[in-house]
Amino acid sequence: MSIDAKYLVGRKAKLSTFVEPFNPGVVEFLKDFSKELDNQKKTKNYPDLKALSFFCREKNILIFRKKYHNQDTIRYGLGLLFHITPSNIPTNFAYSLIFGLLTGNSNIIKVPSMDFDEIKIICKCLNVTLKLKKHTEVKNMIAVIKYSNRHEITKKLSLICDGRLIWGGDQTVKKIKEFETKPKNIDVPLSDRYSVTLLNSEKFINLPEYKKNILIQNFYNDTYVADQNACSSPHLILWHGKFFVKARTKFWSALNELVKKKYNPPAISSVDNFSRLASNFITNKNIKSYQILNKSLYVVTLKKIESGKIIEKSKWGFFYECDILDLKRIEHIVERKLQTITYFGFSKNYLFNFFKKHNFHGIDRIVPIGQALSINLIWDGYDLIKMLSREIDIR
């Protein structure tokens, strides 16, 4: 099959192969790809590439296999997956591909039209690894293409694929869904989401200094590493407990030190942040106070958690915060768009019981601070292994 687009990987791939989830050949391929990526000099400069290579290690994949794959059933990939990947996180397309491979599918990936270095490096490593003879089968399972605003290509691919992973804004997802697909095609829409952080102020205040610093570093990794652009990067901080004022002061000033030392965003970010604050002055009636700690750390303190009102997703280190005395008030902001809660100062058990008791119409992930970006085979509430493969029911 050939599409009139720019091929970054796999122009000659047949894309008709499908295998069982966690196929040994696929696992072997990911292992070799991980090594290749590690060997690139440039990888050292990109934390996101390091994370990707770490993700593909054999050990990590085998943990996934153990956790998510039932050896007693017969499962196969759906066939061909068409991935429309987003531009907010440069490495995202690679994870989408890995999920497609691990579930036993052939994959055609549309990457964003922006020229990210990460995309170039990843594709180079894919090409090098696919040249090895032992990966002939996997070679037929991967094509990475690039095109912009050419609906006829999206249309054509939508007609021949068996499943689509649609990453993108709500508008993108809506648009893509308009294209006709095979009757049995499965769509996995991974649309715009936002995320919040839940912090126990009392537990935070009582942390020894060095542990506070680790927590702040983890929070930084969740947010600033991807310019707060990931759907799973929090932009609203909810403070629970009695020590709101003391805790927030300590938290933001410590984060400020780290941001000043490490974060170097493009100049437009300072205008973006100030413009966002200005808009807030005009439209947001819920502002109690605000603080500009530096050009890349704005904190808007809200009066209360408002029901039915989602605060827009921000970036470049722009945060909203609110003091909540009763955890149940969280229900006022929970809606389908809320993806991740990162937390500190609560036991997993406590949160498990709390969220089991309240069946909120939202929240797909609850992870400790520091794991916001660690992508998983359960994502956005979907069990991707189950969704992207089919099971043969033998009795």
Partner 1 sequence: MKKFFSGIISQSSFTKDPKKKNIVFTKYINQLTSFHYKKSRLYKKYLNGLKYNPKKKYELSKIPFLPVRLFKEFDFLSIDEKKIYKILYSSGTSSGNLSKIYLDKLNALNQIKILQKIFNTINGSKRLPMLIIDKQILHLDRNKFNASIAAIRGFSIFANHVTYLLDENDEINYNQLNIFLKKNKKNNFLIFGFTHNVYLNLIERLDLNKIRYNSFSNALLIHGGGWKKIEKKKIIKKKFNDFLNNKLKIKNIKNYYGLVEQIGSIFFECKCGYFIPSNYSEIIIRDQNFKEVGYGKKGIVQLLSLLPTSYPGHSILTEDIGEMIYDPKCDCYGHGKRFLIHGRLKSAELRGCANI
Residues that bind partner 1 (CB under 8 A): 84, 86-88, 112-114, 149, 151, 154, 167-169, 171-172, 175-176, 191-192, 227, 229, 231, 266-272, 274-275, 277-282, 287, 290, 294-295, 313, 315
Give the nearer residue to partner 1 in terms of CB position, either 74 or 268: 268
Sign of CA dihedral 376, 188, 48, 212: negative
Minimum separation from the CB atom of position 281 to partner 1 (A): 3
Distances (CA, A) of 251 to 210, 213, 217, 229, 254: 13, 9, 11, 21, 5
| β partners of residue 344 | 199
Distances (CA, A) of 322 to 81, 259, 299: 42, 21, 10
Give the nearer residue to partner 1 in terms of CB position, either 191 or 389: 191
Give the nearer residue to partner 1 in terms of CB position, either 81 or 324: 81
Minimum separation from the CB atom of position 280 to partner 1 (A): 7
What is the C-alpha separation between 358 and 235, in angstroms, rounded? 23
Local structure of residue 45 (DSSP, 8 states):
G
Give the nearer residue to partner 1 in terms of CB position, either 149 or 347: 149
The amino acid present at 234, given as its one-letter code, is P
Minimum separation from the CB atom of position 274 to partner 1 (A): 6
- Torsion angle of C-alpha atoms 163, 167, 172, 178, degrees rounded to 10: 10
Give the nearer residue to partner 1 in terms of CB position, either 229 or 374: 229
Q: For the chain, what is the radius of gyration of the CA atoms? A: 22
Give the nearer residue to partner 1 in terms of CB position, either 140 or 229: 229
Q: For the purposes of burial, counting CB atoms within 10 Å of the CB of 258, is it exposed (0-12), middle (13-18) or buried (19 or more)?
A: middle
Minimum separation from the CB atom of position 10 to partner 1 (A): 21
- Asked if 41 and 141 count as a contact pair (C-beta separation under 8 A), the reply is no
Minimum separation from the CB atom of position 169 to partner 1 (A): 3
Minimum separation from the CB atom of position 314 to partner 1 (A): 11
Minimum separation from the CB atom of position 174 to partner 1 (A): 10
Give the nearer residue to partner 1 in terms of CB position, either 154 or 201: 154
Sign of CA dihedral 121, 109, 53, 375: positive
Give the nearer residue to partner 1 in terms of CB position, either 185 or 232: 232
What is the C-alpha separation between 240 and 105, in angstroms, rounded? 44
Minimum separation from the CB atom of position 278 to partner 1 (A): 5
Minimum separation from the CB atom of position 150 to partner 1 (A): 9
Give the nearer residue to partner 1 in terms of CB position, either 274 or 354: 274
Strands 234-240 and 186-190: unpaired
Strands 186-190 and 142-146: unpaired
- Asked if 195 and 232 count as a contact pair (C-beta separation under 8 A), the reply is yes
Give the nearer residue to partner 1 in terms of CB position, either 54 or 179: 179
Minimum separation from the CB atom of position 170 to partner 1 (A): 8
- Written as one string, the DSSP assignment of 300-320 is EEESSPPTT-PPPP--SSEEE
| DSSP reduced 3-state for 355 | helix
